Chains A and B, each alone.
Chain A
Amino acid sequence: GNSVTQMEGPVTLSEEAFLTINCTYTATGYPSLFWYVQYPGEGLQLLLKATKADDKGSNKGFEATYRKETTSFHLEKGSVQVSDSAVYFCALIKPGAGSYQLTFGKGTKLSVIP
């Protein structure tokens, strides 16, 4: 079946540091890949997505590139801010039989300190 593995946290960085959160996936064919962000006490918000190999998703300074050869979708940001403190989820959708179910990784908690 489909699965997503992302690096375990928590991750603590100083403001303006470089961020990488690793994500790899297992799925047949060509799934769509997503990063969601969850701020404390809230639901999930879509951060970025990519739907085919070599696509780069980007938003709010975050980027991730769909790498088919390494089945990866690592999240990066060049300079994190305190406001980026949240839990980040990597996820995939492998459409089938009219269903678009998300499969999530376990989440990585990021804390950014001033």
Chain B
Amino acid sequence: DGGITQSPKYLFRKEGQNVTLSCEQNLNHDAMYWYRQDPGQGLRLIYYSQIVNDFQKGDIAEGYSVSREKKESFPLTVTSAQKNPTAFYLCASSITEGYTFGSGTRLTVV
């Protein structure tokens, strides 16, 4: 079945470390997105990509980086420059208005 796979489900990071969250889709969708979810804040867009080898900053891109070397994959790196990285991260892909979401990665700084 087609879908989006995010891994790992839980991730712990020490302060000062970079970590990479994986997002893979087999839906043949051109567009992919990363969102951050905090309690009471809704979903905020970090980065998005509409085609391979191209991506755009969203509303809260500072402290994050992405790559889009393959259509299927859109990994997110949380860098040490992100001062408050503890959150739930959701990846999505879409074709026009039809979005599919992954099951999320919960990142905790320890």
Using a CB–CB distance below 8 Å, which chain A residues touch chain B? Answer: 32, 41-46, 49, 51, 89, 93, 95, 98-102, 104-107
| B101-A44 in contact (CB<8A) | yes
| A43-B40 in contact (CB<8A) | no
Contact size range, B: 20 to 34
Main secondary structure of the interface of B (DSSP, over half): strand
Using a CB–CB distance below 8 Å, which chain B residues touch chain A? Answer: 4, 6, 31, 33, 40-43, 45, 48, 50, 90, 92, 94, 96-97, 99, 101-104
Known contacts A99-B50, A107-B42; is-contact A46 B99 (Cβ 8 Å): yes
Closest 7 pairs between A and B when the two form their complex, measured CB to CB = A43-B101, A106-B42, A44-B101, A104-B43, A43-B103, A104-B42, A43-B102
Known contacts A43-B103, A100-B96; is-contact A105 B42 (Cβ 8 Å): yes
Name the distance in Å between A20's Cβ and chain B's nearest Cβ: 19
Query: Which of the residues B4, B6, B97, B103 comes within 8 Å of A32, measured between beta carbons?
Result: B97
Closest to A98 in B: B50
Q: How far is the CA of A93 from the CA of B95 in the complex (A)?
A: 13
| B43-A89 in contact (CB<8A) | yes
For this complex, 6 residue pairs linking A to B, each with C-beta atoms less than 8 Å apart, are: A42-B103, A44-B43, A49-B97, A98-B50, A102-B33, A106-B42
Which residues of chain B come closer than 8 Å to A99, judged between CB atoms? Answer: 50
